[in-house]
Amino acid sequence: MRRLALAVAAAAALTGGVAACGSSDDSGDSDKAKGSGKGGLGVSPIAALRTIENTTDKADSAKVESETTMGSVMSMKAEGALGWADGLTGNMTITYTGGQMAETMRRAGTTSMEARYLPEAYYAKMGEQFAAQAGGKHWVKYAYDDLERIGGGSGAYMKDAMQNSTPHQSVKMLLASGDVKKVGEEKVRGVDTTHYSGTVNVAELAEQSSGLSESQLADMKKQLEQAGITTETIDIWVNDENLLVKKTERGEMKTGRLSATAYYSDYGTEVSAEEPPADDTADFKDLMNQQPSM
* Residue 38: predicted pLDDT: 39
- Name every residue whose Cβ is closer than 8 Å to that of residue 64 and which is 6 or more positions away in sequence: 15, 16, 17, 78, 79, 80, 81, 82, 92, 167, 262, 263, 264
The tens place of each residue's pLDDT in the chain, 294 residues long, gives: 666 776 676 666 555 544 444 333 433 333 333 333 333 334 588 889 999 999 999 999 999 999 988 888 888 999 999 999 888 899 999 999 998 888 888 887 888 889 999 988 989 998 888 888 888 999 999 888 887 777 665 566 666 666 667 888 888 878 877 788 999 999 999 999 999 999 877 667 655 444 556 776 677 677 667 767 777 899 999 999 999 999 998 887 776 788 899 999 999 999 989 999 999 999 988 888 765 443
* Residue 25: predicted pLDDT: 41
CA distances, 176 to each of 48, 184, 232 (Å): 14, 21, 12
pTM: 0.80
Give me the CATH topology for the region 45-268+281-287.
Answer: outer membrane lipoprotein receptor (LolB), chain A (2.50.20)
* Residue 32: predicted pLDDT: 33
* Residue 149: predicted pLDDT: 75
Please give the distance of CA 105 from its chain centroid, rounded to a whole number. 21
Domains of the chain, residue spans:
45-268+281-287
Q: Which of 267, 248, 245 is nearest to 174 (CA)?
A: 248
* Residue 33: predicted pLDDT: 31
